[in-house]
Amino acid sequence: MKYRHIGILSAMPEEIGTILEDLEDIKKVNFGDLNIYSGKWVNKNNQYIYLSIAFSGWGKVSAARATTRLIGNNYKNIPVELILFTGVAGSAQDDINQWDIVLGKCLIQHDMDATPLFDKLVIPPLKQKELIPNENILEHLFKRLTNNDLISKYSKYGKVKKGIIASGDQFVSDQESFMKILSNIPNLSAIEMEGAAFAQVSIQEEIPWLVIRVISDNANEGSEEEFSEFVKTYKKWSHQLITVLVESFI
Ligand code: ADE
């Protein structure tokens, strides 16, 4: 599965890590406070791919805005052909732990509620609540991550899992909020603040997309401390995951 130009989005610089340092021939464009860095990424076999990378900031509005800008970005006259959102998330299940990787097989906006006009969680312009990525891309990346030495053997990363990811404009750090989200979405794997907004824009703009999250905390009491500590360490490791993501599409 090959692409010429991939867009990579994270909410925070720590989630992108040092991948920007690997780019050649960097072009930076900015839209107000949003910077998009594009460049050429070359692997050990001298194959290359163009990357456009940005930090959106936290939350659904920031994610939607950055996604739209990133999709519209060209580099050397090649448009972005696939867009990935990667970063950290809180766990929604006891058997999903810190450093496990969740690939979003379905994204849901857990704070969308246009009842009684629409069913709970349904996104009105799409008339659906479940945002589903292209299955071939999901399977392709799942196989690459599960068979990858960088991820499985020599690193801190844990299990790789396909799961439901919910997004909302809330950092979840108490039992009541956690249970409310879980009661609406019982099979939930991970909770974060951007992925489902990114997915909505990608679907509406008709560009292939995928969300890849690494578990940082339990999305429950004390999650703010777990999250803050995790992100400091993750900054050093995100490069490894992003390298595998990029290699998978070259
Ligand atoms: N991203 C990482 N951890 C989170 C949490 N607990 N709530 C919302 N977004 C998160």
What element of type H or E holds 192? strand 188-192
Read off the DSSP letter of residue 237.
Answer: H
**C-beta separation of 50 from 4 below 8 A:** yes
Atom of ligand 1 nearest to the CA of 217: 3
pTM of the model: 0.96
41-95 tens-digit pLDDT: 999 999 999 999 999 999 999 999 999 999 999 999 999 999 999 999 999 999 9
| Pocket around ligand 1 at a 6 A CB cut-off | 88-90, 171-173, 191-193, 216-217, 219, 223, 227
φ, ψ dihedrals at 5, nearest 5°: -145, 120
**C-beta separation of 6 from 82 below 8 A:** yes
Cα separation, 143 vs 136, whole angstroms: 11
Cα separation, 9 vs 12, whole angstroms: 9
Centre a 10 Å sphere on the Cβ of residue 27 and count the other Cβ atoms it contains.
14
| Distance from Cα 88 to the centre of ligand 1, integer Å | 7
Atom of ligand 1 nearest to the CA of 168: 8
Map out the domains of the chain with their CATH numbers: 5-241 (3.40.50.1580)
Give the confidence band of 153 by pLDDT, cuts at 50, 70, 90.
low
Give the confidence band of 180 by pLDDT, cuts at 50, 70, 90.
very high
Mean pLDDT of 189-217: 98
